[in-house]
Amino acid sequence: MINFSAIEIQVMDLCLEVGEYINLEQSTFDRSKIEFKTGLNNMVSYVDKMAEKKLVSVLKKIIPGSGFIAEEGMRSDSQNGYVWIIDPLDGTTNFVHGLPIYAISIALAYNDKIVLGIVFEINAKEMFHSFTGSPAYCNNKEIRVSAISSLGESLLATGFPYQESKKNVAYFRTINQFLKVSNGIRRLGSAATDLAYVACGRFEGFFEYQLNSWDVAAGAFLVQQAGGVVTDFQGKDNFLFGREICASGKIHEEMIKIIQMEWSQDSKQLLG
């Protein structure tokens, strides 16, 4: 029988260790070693890659035979139903520019269902964590999503897509609509951090598209464990691999209504 409480402690300790490595490297970071994946705003560095190696080497030992889905290339099938979904440095662009909002994101899935999630916001030293059957916590203090029930009183978060797409037109229309009816929108540059902030009530909601499973797996689980709702843009549950996510507390229906209004307005033209 897997002891999720013990595993959570081990993974949090690992995050602290790798987070310290990431911050040490940031102080002497060599920008000449930046690589670009798909465009000028989709970066990877030797720090991302080394952090991933450090995480994977230990996680393999925590649950032997587990599989991996990790941003910087680690892929392996599971021998026991368990799969780690990892973003070793969510917010690489922030890291490269010395902007202190970046995080380690680690989720554990069992038979395709997330059972543990940890987001460690490195600079603030905030460890957001939960496992199935447990509340969500930040630094061992229980957290809940915001009690605000009106979009007009809400602060939202989003991100901008890395790749060109015809859907961008609808997406920026959606952002414009939310700007009209909310307290505002923030773009932190780390989806894992955005979701952790929804889980603890700092943001009332978060929405974005073109994200990958490693960007959202841990954070989405935290939102759910903190009493929130997470769906795709259709209000369904294909947010982990469907590349659309909306996460919030009591304003979810309002958010989905606006997203669907703009997203489907000319859907036949927005399939690119």
> Mean pLDDT across the stretch 166-195?
94
* Per-residue pLDDT tens digits for 182-214: 999 999 999 999 999 999 999 999 999 999 999
pLDDT for 96: 87
Report whether pLDDT(266) > 70. no
* More reliable by pLDDT, 228 or 2: 228
Order the strands of the 244-248 sheet from edge to edge. 184-186, 155-158, 205-209, 244-248, 229-231
Dihedral through CA 160, CA 166, CA 172, CA 178, nearest 10? -100
User: Is the pTM of the predicted complex or chain greater than 0.85?
Assistant: yes
pLDDT averaged over the chain?
Answer: 90
Instruction: Report the length, in residues, of the chain.
Output: 272
The single residue listed with the structure tokens 């996680």 is 59
> Mean pLDDT across the stretch 94-117?
95
Residue 30 pLDDT class (50, 70, 90 cuts): low
Nearest to 264 by CA among 176, 167, 178: 167
| CA distances (Å), origin 224, targets 88, 95, 199 | 22, 28, 8
CA within 13 Å, CB half, 245? 36
Which residue segments constitute the domains of the chain, with CATH numbers given? 4-142 (3.30.540.10), 151-269 (3.40.190.80)
pLDDT for 53: 94
pLDDT for 269: 46
Dihedral through CA 98, CA 101, CA 104, CA 107, nearest 10? -150
Residue 33 pLDDT class (50, 70, 90 cuts): low
pLDDT for 160: 87
pLDDT for 31: 65
Residue 164 pLDDT class (50, 70, 90 cuts): low
